[in-house]
Amino acid sequence: MSMFLAPIHFMVYGKNQLQEQLIAEIAKRAAAEGWAEASALDAYCSREDRPLDAIIDVSNIHGWLSKSIADVEHRLAALVTELLFGHPERLAVLEELAYEVGREQAAPADAGAGELFQYLTTHLVDGMPCDGVNMMRDQTAETFRWDKTADVHSHYWTEVEGSPAVYQALRSRFVAGILSSTDYEVSTADGISFVLQKA
């Protein structure tokens, strides 16, 4: 196991921290709406904001990051599932929150399709880089097509008796927020093959 940190490790941590931001915003909104007590919502939120090199176990970098991903994925699934239980109408509010958090990380307006795909991969939690979840199919000046080789999210939702479709809805809005400064959008017919192209 590597004993030193590389840029890719900081990228993974950054993606996790962005999802932590989404969790915090959801908890904040839920408390404001009176959906749950703030004290109960705190259990889903991490207060860890120290730099990666101050907290990671350098003797087990891969294992530490993998555990960190699993933790943030599980907490998002558990929080959203609890908030939506008996109240499916709340999903629309959470989708707009996801969009706003994504918009705060808006991609450069003049980026091309390939650049935008790379931008998305540095902002979306999709397992560890070695999992190779996103596999490019083809690219042109204005389009980028890829396939998802594995579903690394659904089991977190089914474990808490939630719906993976809810995660996909939130993720779709989060991506739309990231792309909001561009004229590109991501579409998929089956959740496996994706295309990034001008709207």
119-169 pLDDT tens trace: 999 999 999 999 999 999 999 989 999 999 999 999 999 999 999 999 999
Q: Is the pTM of this model over 0.85?
A: yes
Domain membership flag for residue 137: yes
Rounded Cα–Cα distance for residues 154 and 47 (Å): 25
Contact present, 154 and 80 (Cβ < 8 Å): no
The domain in which residue 23 lies consists of 7-198
The total number of structural domains in the chain stands at 1
Domain membership flag for residue 117: yes
100-115 pLDDT tens trace: 999 999 999 999 999 9
Domain membership flag for residue 116: yes
Domain membership flag for residue 1: no
Percent helix, percent strand, percent coil in the chain, to nearest 5: 55, 10, 35
In this prediction, residue 1 carries a pLDDT of 40
Domain membership flag for residue 2: no
**Region 27-44 average pLDDT:** 96
41-57 pLDDT tens trace: 999 999 888 999 999 99
In this prediction, residue 106 carries a pLDDT of 98
Rounded Cα–Cα distance for residues 95 and 26 (Å): 10
Rounded Cα–Cα distance for residues 119 and 105 (Å): 10
165-191 pLDDT tens trace: 999 999 999 999 999 999 999 999 999
